[in-house]
Amino acid sequence: MIKRRKDLLDIGLSYPSTYQDRPFKDTNWVLIRIKGSKKAFLWTYELDGELYMNIKVDPESRDSLRNSYEDIKPAYHQNKEHWSSVRIGGDVDDELIKVLIDVSYTLVSGRDKQK
């Protein structure tokens, strides 16, 4: 069950050529990036005592997801057209969280996890 930031980070780090980064003075933000390009596909942070992740979203499914789940919103502190924020522990189940991370990785890296 995904409850802690470590759970999200472990999922992100399971992808090839990834690493954890804290690029800001505000250590609340912990990212998972892709080696080489240094592009982030998973952003984690806490806001008002709640755990969140920001993930890149497929524009074709973005609005459907945001309309279907109360806890998927336009991204906090990122481009709201291409990124969404997901509150962990809300109405988004673990399997969908994993799928969203996978889609974000694929969109940012241009490759599937198996490659």
Which residues, in sequence order, are CB contacts of 67 under 8 Å at separation 6+?
A: none
Q: How much is the pLDDT for 113?
A: 60
| CATH number for the domain whose boundaries are 5-109 | 3.90.1150.30
Per domain, the residue ranges of the chain are: 5-109
Integer Cα distance of 67 and 22 in angstroms: 31
Task: Give the pLDDT of residue 80.
Answer: 85
Mean pLDDT per 10-residue interval, the chain, length 115 residues: 96 98 94 97 97 95 96 91 96 98 96 61
